[in-house]
Amino acid sequence: NSNANATVFQRKTGIILALDVTDEASALEITSEVSGLIDAVKIGYPLVLGTGLQIASKLSKYAPVIADFKVADIPNTDRLICEHVFKAGCAAIIVQGFTGPDSLTECVKTADEFGGKVFVVSEMSHPGGDHFFTDDVSKEIAALAKKSDAFGIVAPATRPERVKELRAVIGGDLKIISPGVGAQGGSAADTIKAGADWVIVGRSIYNAENPRDEAMKVKVEIEKLI
Ligand code: C5P
């Protein structure tokens, strides 16, 4: 097992960088620029298909890595995917919850074997995200995440009222990470106020002329709340 898996998520700035660039040089450059200002870096298909999964161990030198593969399969396939992700040095994985309790339990069990964490998507953050993930469905998924001993859920910063409702469902034990701040219009302060532990920020940081300045702005916005 990689040592990176032992990393415990600690909230310092409240920011997770969504690193959806597609080449290794930019990925490493941007992450090193903002290191210290982010608590974790989230990678997904764009970067991993562009560079390979070995990017995870390179990035984990700067911050714990969350693999956003929105895993959604039968338990056996889920386990095989999770094993690759944690062996590669990721500290957490994002999975779908609509696949049901057995799939979710298998992901959590596999993550535990590696000292890793599971975040469950309760609702997507884009405009169409609440088409199928209606209020009730999102809440049911959040409740299932809690029952399955997931580490946290993913809830939309574009709908802070939903973050608040989902926080009420899961109580204080699970973490909430919220994408949709910046490029998709969500506000970091409103999202944290609604009950999120971390905001996930992608384009508005990695496309900025100065990513470090941009990350600093978000950090200050969150700090003002305390
Ligand atoms: O660039 P932007 O800040 O909009 O990035 C948001 C990130 O969060 C993207 O990586 C997107 O895939 C991801 N995400 C999301 N909504 C979810 C889950 C993940 O926007 N529910």
Query: What confidence tens digit (pLDDT) does each residue in 160-171 have?
Result: 999 999 999 999
Query: What confidence tens digit (pLDDT) does each residue in 171-216 have?
Result: 999 999 999 999 999 999 999 999 999 999 999 999 999 999 999 9
Predicted confidence at residue 125, as pLDDT, reads: 82
Query: What confidence tens digit (pLDDT) does each residue in 133-148 have?
Result: 888 999 999 999 999 9
Atom of ligand 1 nearest to the CA of 129: 21
Predicted confidence at residue 1, as pLDDT, reads: 36
Query: What confidence tens digit (pLDDT) does each residue in 51-82 have?
Result: 999 999 999 999 999 999 999 999 999 999 99
Residues 208-217: contacts with CB under 8 Å, at least 24 apart: 211/30, 211/33, 211/34, 212/33, 212/34, 212/37, 215/13, 215/15, 215/17, 215/34, 215/37, 215/38, 216/37
- The length of the chain in residues reads 226
Atom of ligand 1 nearest to the CA of 122: 21
153 Cα–ligand 1 center, Å: 13
Is the shortest distance between the CB of 203 and ligand 1 below 6 Å?
yes
Closest alpha carbon to 98 in 151, 141, 139: 141
Under DSSP, is residue 106 helix (H, G, I), strand (E, B) or coil?
helix
Is the shortest distance between the CB of 154 and ligand 1 below 6 Å?
yes
User: What residues are paired with 67 via a beta bridge?
Assistant: 43, 93
218 Cα–ligand 1 center, Å: 16
* ipTM confidence score: 0.89
pLDDT higher for 12 or 4? 12
Average pLDDT for the chain: 95
Query: What confidence tens digit (pLDDT) does each residue in 76-132 have?
Result: 999 999 999 999 999 999 999 999 999 999 999 999 999 999 999 998 888 888 888
154 has a pLDDT exceeding 80: yes
Tell me if residue 70 is catalytic.
yes
41 Cα–ligand 1 center, Å: 12
The pTM assigned to this predicted structure is: 0.95
Average pLDDT for 29-42: 98
Average pLDDT for 3-19: 79
Whole-angstrom distance, CA of residue 6 vs CA of residue 28 = 21
Confidence of residue 4 (pLDDT cuts 50, 70, 90): very low
